[in-house]
Structure 1
Amino acid sequence: MAHSILRKSSVPPIVIRADFDVEASVWVAQSDEIPLVTEAESISDLFSKLPSVIQDVLDANGDARAGSVVPYELITQSTAEPQARVA
């Protein structure tokens, strides 16, 4: 009998969207599901800080999920404009 190492969480993930703010040179993350807005200089930094920020938001808002492992889905978007070649 095989056992799966990966287990689905019974808690649905919180969807977080991150967009790159070109003017500020930071990734800005926010969620429509919880009142979360935060930023970081790199996507790696953002990914690292999200678990604690999510817990802080859940706790501050009296969410029943506070203190438990809450999965999240991070969706990133960055828009770039092609550079014109100068002859």
Structure 2
Amino acid sequence: MTRMVFCEYEKREVEGLDFAPWPGEAGKRVYAHIGKAAWSAWLAHQTMLINENRLSPLDPKHRAFLEGEMLKFLFEGGAEKPAGYVPD
């Protein structure tokens, strides 16, 4: 049976994630309150942030930055694109 959650990003009941996609408390929060479509939207935004800012997910400072941006994107609606970003 599909696990349903009230997605704080989409503001409606949707299919939940299969597992916590991030370590720690942030991952637990995402698992409990974010749906699959919202997580996919974040992954696209995260890829853009990594590419435009030349981030390494292995660098602890970069991971901390990405975690903060993830929480803003999914829960606060305040994620911004990097300065000078021009989509292809």
Structure 2 length-normalised TM = 0.28
Q: Which has the larger radius of gyration?
A: 1
User: Could you say which structure has the higher strand fraction?
Assistant: 1
User: Could you say which structure has the higher helix fraction?
Assistant: 2
Structure 1 length-normalised TM = 0.28
Q: Which has the higher contact order (CA 8 A, sep 6+)?
A: 1
